[in-house]
Amino acid sequence: MTYGETRLGILGGGQLGRMLLQAGIDLNLYTLILDPDADAPCKSLCHEFYQGSFADFSTVYNFGKKCDVLTIEIEHVNVEALFKLEAEGVRVYPNPEAIRIIQDKGLQKEFYQQHQIPTADFRLVANRVEVEQNQDFLPVFQKLRRFGYDGRGVTRLATAEDITKGFDEPSVLEKLVPFEKEIAVIAARNARGEVSCFPVVELSFHPEHNLVDYLFSPANISPAIEQAAQDLATQVIQAFDMVGLLAVEMFLTPAGELLVNEVAPRPHNSGHHTYKANYTSQFEQHLRAILNLPLGNTGLHSAAVMLNLLGEAGFSGEAQYEGADAALAVSGVTIHLYGKKYTRPFRKMGHLTITAPTVAEARQKAEHVRNLVKVKA
Amino acid sequence: MTYGETRLGILGGGQLGRMLLQAGIDLNLYTLILDPDADAPCKSLCHEFYQGSFADFSTVYNFGKKCDVLTIEIEHVNVEALFKLEAEGVRVYPNPEAIRIIQDKGLQKEFYQQHQIPTADFRLVANRVEVEQNQDFLPVFQKLRRFGYDGRGVTRLATAEDITKGFDEPSVLEKLVPFEKEIAVIAARNARGEVSCFPVVELSFHPEHNLVDYLFSPANISPAIEQAAQDLATQVIQAFDMVGLLAVEMFLTPAGELLVNEVAPRPHNSGHHTYKANYTSQFEQHLRAILNLPLGNTGLHSAAVMLNLLGEAGFSGEAQYEGADAALAVSGVTIHLYGKKYTRPFRKMGHLTITAPTVAEARQKAEHVRNLVKVKA
C-alpha cells in the first residue's frame, strides 16, 4: 500500500485544499501546501506550508520536487512546471495537459468539439473588434478565455449596444442556450482507469435575482437523464485521460438534451454536501483516485442541500459569524467554516449542509435556515 | 456565536485528539494540544503543540491558561490544575470533579452506589492482604483503582490460588457477572443541559479467544432494552453533571438487567463508527457540547461495524500497512489511520469502518475484511 506517509503536495491552500487535508487525516498523509497567502486556510493543518505564487515556474517546480504526488485545488497554476515535474517522475494528478486545456475556456470548447462532447455553440475572438465582427452571433455570453472564476470574467451580450460593456480581450462567445435546469456531476477516475460518478446535483436559482441560491441532490430529473448525465461526465473524464475528480457542469435543455458548460479538474463547490450526505465524500474520493486506491461508494445516504455562506454586503474585515446557533438547532444542519480571517462582500466564507430523508424536506429546511447565518465584520 | 476562533485546548494528542481536531476544522477552532510525545498524532494538525506531561500540575495549569475551553482525550490528567483553571474562568469540560471520580475505579463504583446506578457488586481493597481477607467474595475481576487502560490493570481471580498472580495495590474487587452481551452508549450533554444519546453499540467477541473482535451498531437488542440503555446513560451523565461526551459501557444480564461497567468522559473507541455511519459523529457532538451549541442528530444512516487495526504480534518499528487496497475495494469500507509512526504488538494503529444497509450485511463484510489489513514493521 502506497499511502501511509505519502508526501502529497497541493497547489492552493484555500477551502478546497483544507477539506482535502481534513479527509487526508484518515489516510495518514504527509501534506505540503503552496499558497500565496501567508494566512491561507490550510496554513496550520499541513506538515509543510510554503508561501509563494503558483503562477511562477520555479516556485511550482521547486515545491513539486518535494512531493510524491502533486495535485491542485485551483486550475490557474503554472503548467510548464507541472509538465517538467511529470517528466521527472512526480505523479501529477490531474495531468498537466488536462489542466492546460481547462485553464483556457477557448481550448476547453475546442476540446469538446474535437471529442464530440455536446456543448453550446461558440466562436473565439481576440478582442472587441472581433466581437463586433461577430454581431450576427448575438445574443451570447462573453467569457474571458483565462482566469475567469466564480462568475468573474463572464458578461452577457444581448444586443450590439452591449459590446462596449464587454471585454476587449481573448474570449469565447457562447450562444445563449435556453435551459430548463443547470446540473453538475462529479466524476472520479483512478490511475487504473476505474471511473465512478456522484449522483447529479441540481442548482436552485433565486426566483428574483437569478443567482444560484443553493444546490441540492438528488436532482429532480428522470432516471434516464440521471444516467445520461453520468454517462456524459464519464465520457468527458475519459476524454481528458484524467486521474482525480472532474466536476462537469451541464445545461439540461427543454428538449432533454445535455450540454457541457464548464468543467473543473478538482473538488468543487457542487460536491461539498457529499461530506455529510454521501457514503464517500468528494474529498476522500479525490484522494482515493490520485493515490490509485479503489474508488468509494458515491451513493447518497440522505438527500442534501448545500448553501454557501457568503460575506454580507457592506462588511469587510475580521469575520464574525452570527446566527449559527439557531441554524444548528435544526436537525440535519451542519456548518463548515473555511478558516478565512477576513470577510468581504460575497466572499465564500463557509457553507451549510442540510440533510433529510427527502429532497423536499431538505429544501424546506434550507428555506428556513438560509437567512439565519450572517457573516459580518 | 462563540466558536469561530475559540481557543480550544486538548489534554492529550493521540488518535482521539486527532479525530477531534479533524471534526473541529468545520468550526474554525484555534487548537492547542498538550502531549508528552514529541511525535504525537496531533502534532501537525493543531495551531500550537506543547510537549509535556499532563500529570504535572504546572504543565497543565500553564497550558490551560492559554485556552478559552479545555477538554481531554484521556482522563489520567492532573485534576488539581483543572480545578484551579475552572476557578479562574477557563471552561473546563468535562468538569474536574467528574474526572477526579472517573480516574479512580473505586470512587467510580462508590459514585454509582450513591446515585442508585446499577452496577456489579464490589469491594475495595488496599493491597494483597486485603484481597486474601475477601476470599469469600471470589470469583471477581480485580481492577487497579488508577491508571488501568485498554484492558491493562485488570485480572481475573477465580479461586484463592489466583490471588498471588493478582495486584498488591489499591484495587476494586468486582463480582463476576454472568452477562449476555456487553454494550455501550455514548451520551452527550451541553452546558444548557440538553442530553442526547447515540444508538447502542454491541461488542462482538471472538468465539475462541474471548477477546473483543469488533463493535457494531445498531445493537441486536429489543427496542425496550435500547431505550433502557439510553435512559441509563442519560442518568449517569446527569449524575456527573457533565458537559461533553460520556461513554457508558454496560453489561446486559440474562435477566434483561443493565449494569454499568465503566465510563469514559470523552470520545471513545465505541463511537468511532459514528464518523461514517451517523448523521453526527461523536467528535462533532463533543465539540457541539463543550462549545454549548445545539446537539446534533445522533441517528444512524447506515448500520456499521468498527474493527480496530492493532499492531501485528511480533512486529515493532516503523509502521507499514499491508492489504488496505483489498479492504477498500469492498463497498462501504473506509480506513482511518492514527498517524502513529511506530507500531508494536497490539498497539491501536487505526480502524476500519464497514457500513451497509443492515447489520447482518455489515458483519458479513467485516468477517471478509478483518484479516486483510495487517500493521507490520
Q: How many CB pairs under 8 A join A and B?
A: 101
Q: Report the alpha-carbon distance of residue B275 to residue A13 in Å, rounded.
A: 25
- Is the pLDDT at A163 greater than 70? The verdict is yes
Contact of B135 with chain A, judged by CB distance below 8 Å, is answered with: no
Mean pLDDT of the residues in chain A? 95
pLDDT band of A48, cuts 50, 70, 90: very high
Are the C-beta atoms of residues A365 and A330 closer than 8 Å to each other?
Answer: yes
- The string of DSSP letters for B337-362 reads E---SEE-TT-EEEEEEEEESSHHHH
Residue B32 phi, psi (nearest 5):
-130, 140
Residue A285 DSSP symbol: H
Query: How far, CA to CA in Å, does A117 sit from each of A184, A248, B41?
Result: 15, 12, 47
- Is the pLDDT at A265 greater than 50? The verdict is yes
pLDDT tens for each residue of chain B, 377 residues long: 445 579 999 999 999 999 999 999 999 999 999 999 999 999 999 999 999 999 999 999 999 999 999 999 999 999 999 999 999 999 999 999 999 999 999 999 999 999 999 999 999 999 999 999 999 999 999 999 998 766 678 999 999 999 999 999 999 999 999 999 999 999 999 999 999 999 999 999 877 766 788 999 999 999 999 999 999 999 999 999 999 999 999 999 999 999 999 999 999 999 999 999 999 999 999 999 999 999 999 999 999 999 999 999 999 999 999 999 999 999 999 999 999 989 999 899 999 999 999 999 999 999 999 889 999 99
Element (H, E) at A244: strand A244-252
pLDDT of residue A4: 59
Q: Do B27 and A1 touch (CB under 8 A)?
A: no
ipTM for the predicted complex: 0.94
Q: Do A27 and B325 touch (CB under 8 A)?
A: no
Residue of A nearest to B320 (CA): A4
Q: Report the alpha-carbon distance of residue A282 to residue A297 in Å, rounded.
A: 11
From the list B1, B45, B331, the residue facing A25 with the nearest CB is B45
Contact of A256 with chain B, judged by CB distance below 8 Å, is answered with: no
Contact of B47 with chain A, judged by CB distance below 8 Å, is answered with: yes
- Surface-to-core class of residue A377, CB atoms within 10 Å of its CB (0-12 exposed, 13-18 middle, 19+ buried): middle
Question: Mapping DSSP to helix (H, G, I), strand (E, B) and coil, where does residue B129 land?
Answer: helix
pLDDT of residue A24: 96
Could you tell me which CATH number the domain at B121-175 has?
A: 3.30.1490.20
Q: Report the alpha-carbon distance of residue A298 to residue A237 in Å, rounded.
A: 16
Residue of A nearest to B334 (CA): A296
Contact of A321 with chain B, judged by CB distance below 8 Å, is answered with: yes
Contact of A337 with chain B, judged by CB distance below 8 Å, is answered with: yes
Q: Which residues pair with B123 in a beta bridge?
A: B173
Residue A320 DSSP symbol: E
Could you tell me where the beta strands, DSSP code E, fall in B85-177? 91-92, 122-125, 140-144, 154-157, 171-175
Domain boundaries, chain B: 7-92, 121-175, 181-376
Q: Report the alpha-carbon distance of residue A147 to residue A104 in Å, rounded.
A: 8
- Is the pLDDT at A106 greater than 80? The verdict is yes
Q: Which residues pair with A31 in a beta bridge?
A: A8
pLDDT of residue B169: 95
B212-251 tens-digit pLDDT = 889 999 999 999 999 999 999 999 999 999 999 999 999 9
Query: What is the separation, in whole angstroms, between the first and last Cα of chain B?
Result: 47
Q: Report the alpha-carbon distance of residue B32 to residue B30 in Å, rounded.
A: 7
B13-66 tens-digit pLDDT = 999 999 999 999 999 999 999 999 999 999 999 999 999 999 999 999 999 999
CA B238 to chain centre: 18
Question: Mapping DSSP to helix (H, G, I), strand (E, B) and coil, where does residue B177 land?
Answer: coil
Q: Which class in CATH covers the domain with range A7-92? A: alpha beta
Contact of B358 with chain A, judged by CB distance below 8 Å, is answered with: no
Mutate to test the interface with A, among B32, B44, B333 (most CBs of A within 10 A): B44
pLDDT of residue A150: 63
pLDDT band of A1, cuts 50, 70, 90: very low
Q: Which three three-digit cell numbers place residue B369?
A: 475484511
Assigned fold of B181-376 = D-amino Acid Aminotransferase; Chain A, domain 1 (3.30.470)
pLDDT of residue A2: 43
Q: Which amino acid is at A187?
A: A
Angle between helices A96-103 and A105-114 (to 10 degrees): 110
